[in-house]
Amino acid sequence: MDVLGPASTIVWDTLKLSAEPLWSRSDILVVAQVMVRERGRTGADQYRVNFEMNRHHGLVSQDTEVLSADQDGNGSRWRYSGRRDVVEAVKKRFLTTQLYSHVAGQLGWVSSP
Give 30-74 pLDDT, tens digit per residue: 999 999 998 888 889 999 999 999 999 999 999 999 999 877 777
SS3 (DSSP) at 54: strand
User: What is the helix, strand, coil percentage profile of the chain, to 5?
Assistant: 20, 50, 30
pLDDT digits (tens, 9 = 90+) for 1-36: 454 666 889 999 999 999 999 999 999 999 999 999
What are the residue ranges spanned by the domains of the chain?
2-107
Helices (H), 11-94: 84-94
Examine the pLDDT at 81 and tell me if it is beyond 90. yes
